Chains A and B, each alone.
Chain A
Amino acid sequence: MTDSLHIDWTACDGRGLCAELLPELLAEDDWGYPVARGDMTVPAALEPAAREAVDRCPALALRLVKQVQQVSQVRQPSR
């Protein structure tokens, strides 16, 4: 079961630790907030780093979630 990163944007402060710990998956946008390089799926090799990033997030905004309950269907509502 692969995990994928989930960012709670309402909590994220853009402190930038996750992008430093997971440069393979995350970059920083113009304002210091993390932006996904790809689809946020965490390869097995990066899992320890991902756990560390989740653990170190000062805002507890980063999570590892099981891929199944991820995005696409969750995004029902527009506006």
Chain B
Amino acid sequence: MTSMMTAPVARVEQRLLTGDAAHGPLPALTGAEIIAMARDAGITGRGGAGFPVWRKLSAVAGTGRPAVVIANAAEGEPAAGKDKALLTTAPGLILDGLQLVARATGAKSVHFYGPAAALGPIGALVRRRGEAVELHAAPDAFVSGEESAVVGAVSGRGAVPADKRVRITESGVGGAPTLVQNVETLAHLALIARYGPAWFRSAGTVDEPGTFLATVSGSVNRPGIVVEAGYGVPLGDLITAAGRRVLAAASDRVSAAGIQAVLIGGYHGGWVPADPTLPVSREMLAPYRAAPGAGVVIALPAGSCGLTETARIANYLAGEVAGQCGPCVNGPPRMAETLADLARRRNRPGLPAEVERLARLVSGRVACRHPDGTARLVVSAMRAFDADVSAHLAGRCLALEGSW
């Protein structure tokens, strides 16, 4: 589906970010109606994985056992800020959404898991609303927002990912079927309940309906700003909303207003060219092996070395492993070192091939997707900055030479 290529429907929008006040009371819906509504709206999880919400809802509801639902506001990624922004602008929508999924799954207990600083205001709101929501503080670590880590934290075992032989939707907290949903997803559900699936689908693309929250940072005037837009929004619109004028020409990277490349999907994402017309959607980013993920967008300025920046991120990620799984304890650090050698032009034979081999070696193995995400980032840097790779192998650096 490439409908938005001919008629770009996605524009920077204000739905979630209008806040709580603008919306009326939550309509009374049955569990089945809520699941049907999520299915018709085609809403997917906004935490990064993009899994269809209704499937998870019906999986948990289908067990027929009392469930546990958890709102997940833990964004361990330093470049992400959309969940924190949502917690301040629309906490009521989040709690509305939490009540909806609790009803849809027949939950026996309802939890909120998020940064410690957010628990006070959320707790106050919960009390005002007279609801029963248990609050849990999320540690400030990269993997703390991963689904099984969330279940671990709520179960009191610690916020580290766990083995997934049995799905969390079947057996999570205390063995109960468990639903973990990102807070943005919940807020969307609260709006869908009020305005309907068709309204939700009026933003985004046919295959990827609705809006999403993006955190735009890097070489922009207002780094860290949270922007709401429909899927398929041109990359240039997101950058412009963050305060940088984007020039038109797509093919010439130099002319994209001093932006060399853009990292989409965050530290587990992929590099894409600084093409202002590039639609930000799963489908259109797939050729670059990137995805909107949790909406993190980082603009790399001309004059910065993409390999050096990626090596820096990879080094951060290598330090954020939970320390449980052997391939993850060893793989990302080795990948980060290898990329750092390339970035510092400490050349040795077969270095690029070694990066690719390591990426293949660590992918698809361990309890969570941390090494996979790290590998994806590193491989994407090798592709996006292939000219830099060649230059670095020859002992030169294009960024330092001002070729950008």
Contact = CB atoms under 8 A, between A and B. Distances in A.
A23 B120 CA distance: 55
What is the size category of the interface that chain A forms with chain B?
A: 20 to 34
Contacts of A31: 326-327, 330
A9 B369 contact: no
A73 B373 CA distance: 18
A79 B22 CA distance: 33
Contacts, number: 88
A33 B366 CA distance: 11
A30 B164 CA distance: 24
Contacts of A8: 163, 165, 367
Nearest to B361: A29
A45 to B, nearest CB: 25
Contacts of A14: 326
B334 interface: yes
B47 interface: yes
A78 B343 CA distance: 27
17 contacts: A8-B163, A8-B165, A9-B163, A9-B367, A12-B325, A14-B326, A29-B327, A35-B365, A69-B167, A74-B167, A75-B164, A77-B146, A77-B148, A78-B369, A79-B49, A79-B368, A79-B373
B326 A12 contact: yes
A75 B160 CA distance: 16
B328 A9 contact: yes
A10 B146 contact: no
A77 B165 contact: no
A10 B366 CA distance: 8
A9 B324 contact: yes
A51 interface: no
Interface in A1-51: 6-14, 29-33, 35-36
Give the dominant DSSP class at A's interface.
Answer: loop
Interface residues of B, number: 40
Contact of B47 (A9, A74, A77): A77
B163 A10 contact: yes
B368 A77 contact: yes
A21 to B, nearest CB: 18
Given A77-B146, A78-B373, A6 B165 contact: yes
Contacts of B367: 8-10
A29 B365 CA distance: 11
Nearest to A31: B330
B365 A9 contact: yes
Contacts of A30: 330, 334, 361
B164 to A, nearest CB: 5
Given A10-B367, A11-B163, 10 more contacts: A7-B365, A8-B163, A9-B367, A10-B161, A10-B163, A14-B326, A30-B330, A75-B369, A76-B49, A78-B293
Contacts of B166: 69
B147 interface: yes
Contacts of A73: 167
Contacts of A75: 164, 369
